[in-house]
Structures are given as C-alpha cells and as structure tokens.
Structure 1
C-alpha cells in the first residue's frame, strides 16, 4: 500500500456504521412498497435491482435504523461477505437486512471507500469472518477496518478514473436492458397477447411495428403501423385449443418440439485432476446464469473431462436453464462458444426453423410456470421432462422467420454490449488494486483508461 496515504479505522472517518435489520422477514414482504435490499442485491460496485423485495411504508418506519439513502455504502455481511456498493440515486428511500451500512464523514468519499473495500480490504474482511454454519462479517469488525485516507482531491481523482469506467459499464448495462425489454415486448405482443391477430380480427391495421422496435433499439420508441408484408403473415381470426383461443393455423406443441437437442449436464469427477487442470472448455454452473450471454466461466474442463464424464457439449447460442433450487429455477444463460454445464441445468439447442431467440423468450415467459412445478422436501427442483413438456403456441414458419430476423439484430447488440462491459470490468479490476496499493500512479491509470474508452 502507498506510504503516502495514511490509514484510519473506519469508525473514525464515518459518521455512522450500523447494520441492516436482523430478524425474520418472510411475512413482511409485499408486492409493492419500499424497496428492501438483501445481500444478493449488492454486487461489487453496483446494486442489482433483480429480485428486490418490498415492505410496507409502516414497517419501513418501524425499522428506520436500517433505512438506506443515496450515498450510503453497503457492505454484505452474509453470502459474499465484504462485497460493497454505494446506494444509487435511483433508490431515494430503501431498507435492508444482512448489510453493514456506512455513512461517510468529511474525510472519505463514498465511492472511494467502495473501491477500497472491494479491493484492498479483502484481507481484513476474510480474517474477521465468523460463524460455523453461515459465515458473516460483523459490524464491529467493519468499524475496525483500516482504510487509506488520502486528501479529498486525490480521492476525487481516483474516483474520476475508476468512476469513468464504472459509468461506461452502467451505460452499457442500461442500454442492454432497454434492448432486452424491446425484444421481450415484441415477443409478448406477437406470441403471448397476439396483438397483430387481434387487430386484424377487428379490421384494424396492426401496430407494434418491427420498425418501431428497431428504432427504439437506436434510442427512440416511436409508434408505427406494421408494414403490410409483415402484417400479411398473421391470420385474422382465432380458433379454440387446449390452451384457449390461439391464432388460426398456429399449432400447440411443447418445448421439445422447438428443440433439435435437449439434455441435462454433468460434473466431471473432482478427484480426476486430468479432468480439470489446464482445461480450455467452458463449464458453467447455474450461479453464473443472469438471463443473458455467458462469456467467461468460473471453471474450465479438459478434453479428457469432456470425453470421460457425463457432461454434454452444446454449441454457440444454445440455451441453458437452471432446474434446481427455486427461485433459481428458470434462470437462463446463452452460450457464446461450445461449452459444457453441470447437472443443475437443462441445455437446449433450437431447431433451425425455430431459432434461439424464440426458444429463449418462450422459456423466459414460462418462468412462473416452471417455478410453480418445482417440488422437493429439501430443495425445490424441476426435471428435464418438465422443461421439455412445457406447452407452447407455435406460429407458422414465416412468422417465426420474420421474428427471428429482427430479434437477431437486437440480441447481436446485446451480445456486443455484454462483451464491452466485461472488457471494461476487467480493466477496472486490473487497475483498482494497483492504483489503491500505490503500484500505479494516477497519470498512468488515466492514460490506460483513455486508451480503453
């Protein structure tokens, strides 16, 4: 660590160090209300809005000690102790459990503290984790954590360098979220709500325009009528089916009918070093699924591991779905290269006429159904057979072709944004410890950042 930066214990540079709510929460959650963060919502440098819970304003007031506000620094106590993020402006009022809450004083910037905790403070945190069954990081240990405290101008300069990278990563993620929402909206309109068919049945011109969706992908969201060629692909009436009214001429099938291959994964023997050491084949676990493209696995296996075990190798754009441990059940991943995966997932390769994006979004919109079928005493799971047997409405090939041509443009942009975000994340994670330890000076870091951005 740089000798130029003095060390001070956190309790002496923070206005307050406290802890999130400790107690049972199962009966307190409601559909809408005050956001309630748990440890799974805190990732390094960011708050993940997925699976945020909510509590009533009344309960929020009862536990005001654990209230959060923008600028607070949240540190995970259990799960992944020490993971740290700054509460953003889009959470003006929130509450939490399983978190250490730090309100910074005049000597320390919240984002600088966040960078410190996520990098240099790892040793202090790991050496102060307690608990035999569930390990956690105590608020008392957090107060004693030593933090480098350079002058505010230096902190601001460090935050500017690293923050520029984080801001770019955030922008890429937000753009991807917009593109994903467009793809989901188009799928829902065509294949869940059957909007084009309903419009034609009423004698109206279908909207939802592919052109409108694609313009939205460029940053605009205009209303536009569907072009005549696309509109002509849809029927103008419905017929009865086992799933209710469906567009005339479309058929009822299953996920199995959409797939050229559907299989569960496996895990090579951990006792066989030749299955793991020096491996080059990606091997994914369900904890890495984030409803998007899978880029870099936490583990890889060797060719011997592929041949000598029950793993299956699936190609680029195959879809993986978690089938163990509700509510993880239904979480999805898209392969970006030939890869293997563990037995907690079902892997699917779409038929050429169906395409990966129709399959992916079919599974995405079926998530509630899959979770409703999860069963088991200790762990709520589903099976490959349940996945394969999920009933779906299958449009004719021309409608599928039109959808996939446009979905491909959206998902190509999403993939490119995901790759860029990962590249920038790797740059930040490379610069961070070197910058904080004094191995890298600010001018050098700024030069590296400018080249990357």
Structure 2
C-alpha cells in the first residue's frame, strides 16, 4: 500500500487530508457565571468533568435552576457527543458523553459536530480526536497565557485524516468493539461493588462504632525509593500515588526500578494481585485502588499504604468502610497539613469501625471475597483490553494496519 507524507504525518496515499472546518464544527457552550449556579437542579458540564484518562465524571457537576432550562436548549449535550477540554491542565482531553440525562455544556468545553456524517463518521471522528496526532496539533496552536487555552479558529485550522467512508466504519468498529468490552466489564464491576456495599450496609445498619479498622488490617507504608533508582524499562515496577485512580491501580503506566535496587528489598514492600492501595498524602489522599490480576513484579512506593489483612478477605471490609461517607469524613478530619494533607498508617488503623466480632469478620469477609475476586479478574481484563486498544489506535488511525472493507 503506497503512502503519502503530510503535514501531520504519514497515511495511505488514497486517504484525504482535510481541514477540520471542512468536515466538522466546534461548538462552544454557554458562559455560565458564578451567580448562575444553585445547590441542585440541571447539571452543568465543565472541563473538570473530563478526567485525565478521558473518562467522564458527572458526580461533581455544578447546577442551575430547573426553571431556566428553556433558555439553554441549544446547550443540551446529546448522547454520543464528543467533548473536549479547551483550557486548563487537561486541555485537549477528549471524552464521549454516554447518557440521556439532561446536562448543559459550559463555555470552555468544546463539542465536536460532524457537518455531514456521510462524509465523516462520528465514531471514526471521535477516535481520530483521541490520537496523539490531534493532541500535538492542539499543543502547537494553544495560546500561551497563565491559563492554557485553544480557540475555535485554531481548531478549525487543524488537519484530519479522512479515509474512504467504509474504511472509517471498519476502523471505528474495531476500536468500538474493544471499548464495548471494556465498558461491559466496568459495568459488571459496578454491579459487584453495589452488591458488596448493600451487604455492608445491611450488616452495620444499626451498630455502635466500638471496633477499629486495625481489627481488620495493618497498614503497610511504602519504601522511599531514590530518584536514581528509576529507569526507562525493566521487569520491576513501582506503584505511586499517581497510579491510583477510580478504584483501580494502573499498573501499565508505572515507573520502572532497577533490579539492583530491589534484589535485597524486604518482601513486605512487594504488591500482588488483589492488593488494595491507599493514597496517604496530597490531592488524592484517601483514594483507594485494587491491583488487577497481573504477573508483574510490583513494589510499594512511600506514602502509598498497603492493606495487610488479618483474616482472609478482611481487607475488603476495611475498603468498604473507608470509602463510605463515614470513612471519607474520618480521613478528611484526621489528615494534617493544609497545602499537602497527610494521614499516617496509625491514623488509618485507628478509624472507628462498627462493632464486629472475630466470627463476624470471618463470616462477612468470606461473603465479600468471591465478589471481589471477580472484580479483580475483570480489572485485569480491562487493563489488557485497554493496552490493546492503545496499541491499535495509532496504527489504525495512521493506516499502518490495513482493514479489509470488502465484507
């Protein structure tokens, strides 16, 4: 297959390279002011709703009064819309809105709308926008100011690879099938977590807080690795606070550490499949994540806590308690330091827990363990599928992998 060199890289010779404005439009949202917002009502989607990993989180939206909805019908985000952060720390991050809930688009959120879906398929367009190709164009065109931002004219002047429509469809189908499998596994895990939370609530609905988290786990702090210990590649990986996100520990983007550094390291700092980590400092304090099923050799960095369970599965009881409203409040109130909040291992262990006997710990933990074993397996599958998707994405979007469109 013959190739062509373009201003944005190499692609098949039979693909077109077109200006963004010729196939799509960037639509800004409404510039809501502080005095527009209310305690409840219609959600407003801001750039903070697009997370650094491209996921969308509506749990922390601002609101406007429901009575004002008629004034903003043109700003309602539709299911399937492609949204981008146009300023700030997450500039260029893309998210796909997957909901029928009425949510309004704020100003610095961009909504990408194909002009004719018979020319550029919306699913293909979404995947193209998630590539580094697009990100680098945005970075090259951003306005240099105290708050990084990119304008509508800059976006409209960007370039897009435009394969024949049938190729667009095939590319999108390959990537969508992986995303669908990942989404299914996430939803399975949400159901399993809800089942576990329901059990927890039923067990401790009316209970005095006379036990402690230390009855369930010990909290192991990590090892203080030196910066010179890290390297570009290797077999041993170190998990840091940055790797904890959304209830999962990302083991694919970890830092590597030299084997010489860890060959005599105490095994108490090693991490295994199913372990639960706790962020003990900084903006992510209190965040927890479960290690997916993995064969990697993993080590625990300082200021990351590891739950060392005292009974089979009792770490899940501690996990459910510390992620509950009671646990979150305890962590917030116990942490010290304002600019950089910290909580000690002892502070976590001393968190009061509903009255529980040793027999109940064993019984409840044995009920939770099978649920979380499935969660852990699913997390491993998610990370494998996600890694495959991330490998295929640039190859498909640059035409390195040829897809048969003959049916």
The TM tier, using the shorter chain, reads 0.7 to 0.9
Give the equivalent residue in structure 1 for 2:6.
none
**Residue 38 of structure 2 corresponds to residue 41 of structure 1:** no
**Structure 2: unaligned runs, 5 residues or longer:** 1-10
Question: What is the CA–CA distance in structure 1 between the aligned matches of 2:224 and 2:152, rounded to whole Å?
Answer: 38
Question: What is the CA–CA distance in structure 2 between the aligned matches of 1:252 and 1:126, rounded to whole Å?
Answer: 54
**Structure 1: unaligned runs, 5 residues or longer:** 195-244, 447-453
Give the equivalent residue in structure 2 for 1:349.
308
| Structure 1 residue 41, shift from structure 2 partner | 2.8
**Residue 318 of structure 2 corresponds to residue 359 of structure 1:** yes
Question: What is the CA–CA distance in structure 2 between the aligned matches of 1:186 and 1:50, rounded to whole Å?
Answer: 23
| Structure 1 residue 420, shift from structure 2 partner | 1.5
Which string of whole-angstrom CA distances, capped at 9 and with x for unpartnered residues, describes residues 386-432 of structure 1? Answer: 32321112422222222222211111111121122222222222222
Counterparts of residues 336-415 of structure 1 (less than 5 Å): 336=292, 339-352=298-311, 355-365=314-324, 366-374=327-335, 376-415=337-376
Report the aligned-residue RMSD: 3.3
Which string of whole-angstrom CA distances, capped at 9 and with x for unpartnered residues, describes residues 207-244 of structure 1? Answer: xxxxxxxxxxxxxxxxxxxxxxxxxxxxxxxxxxxxxx
Q: Please, which of 156, 169, 172 is the counterpart of residue 159 of structure 1?
A: 172
Question: What is the CA–CA distance in structure 2 between the aligned matches of 1:163 and 1:371, rounded to whole Å?
Answer: 40
Q: Please, which of 119, 124, 129 is the counterpart of residue 117 of structure 1?
A: 129
Cα 1:268–1:332 change in 2 (3 A) is same
| Structure 1 residue 310, shift from structure 2 partner | 12
Counterparts of residues 54-133 of structure 1 (less than 5 Å): 54-58=63-67, 66-77=75-86, 78-96=88-106, 98-106=108-116, 107-119=119-131, 120-131=133-144, 133=146
Q: Which moved more, 1:352-361 or 1:173-182?
A: 352-361
| Structure 1 residue 29, shift from structure 2 partner | 5.5
Give the equivalent residue in structure 2 for 1:6.
16
Q: Which moved more, 1:329-338 or 1:304-313?
A: 304-313
Question: What is the CA–CA distance in structure 2 between the aligned matches of 1:6 and 1:442, rounded to whole Å?
Answer: 17
Question: What is the CA–CA distance in structure 2 between the aligned matches of 1:88 and 1:352, rounded to whole Å?
Answer: 40
**Residue 395 of structure 2 corresponds to residue 434 of structure 1:** yes
Give the equivalent residue in structure 1 for 2:225.
268
| Structure 1 residue 116, shift from structure 2 partner | 0.4
Which string of whole-angstrom CA distances, capped at 9 and with x for unpartnered residues, describes residues 277-323 of structure 1? Answer: 44433322333322135543431222444489999714324422223
Which string of whole-angstrom CA distances, capped at 9 and with x for unpartnered residues, describes residues 125-156 of structure 1? Answer: 23223435443333332221211223433322
Counterparts of residues 442-453 of structure 1 (less than 5 Å): 442-443=403-404
Preserved CA contact (<8 Å) 1:324 1:379: yes
**Residue 212 of structure 2 corresponds to residue 254 of structure 1:** yes
| Structure 1 residue 434, shift from structure 2 partner | 1.1
Preserved CA contact (<8 Å) 1:262 1:346: yes
| Structure 1 residue 59, shift from structure 2 partner | 6.2
Secondary structure of residue in 1 paired with 2:103: coil
Give the equivalent residue in structure 2 for 1:139.
152
Preserved CA contact (<8 Å) 2:219 2:305: yes
Higher RCO (CA < 8 A, seq sep 6+): 2
TM-score, normalised with respect to structure 1: 0.74
Preserved CA contact (<8 Å) 2:76 2:102: no
Question: What is the CA–CA distance in structure 2 between the aligned matches of 1:309 and 1:4, rounded to whole Å?
Answer: 56
Question: What is the CA–CA distance in structure 1 between the aligned matches of 2:319 and 2:143, rounded to whole Å?
Answer: 41
Preserved CA contact (<8 Å) 2:237 2:298: yes
Question: What is the CA–CA distance in structure 2 between the aligned matches of 1:28 and 1:385, rounded to whole Å?
Answer: 40
Give the equivalent residue in structure 1 for 2:281.
324
| Structure 1 residue 374, shift from structure 2 partner | 4.3
Give the equivalent residue in structure 1 for 2:269.
313
Cα 1:101–1:294 change in 2 (3 A) is closer
TM-score, normalised with respect to structure 2: 0.81
> Paired residues, what number?
386
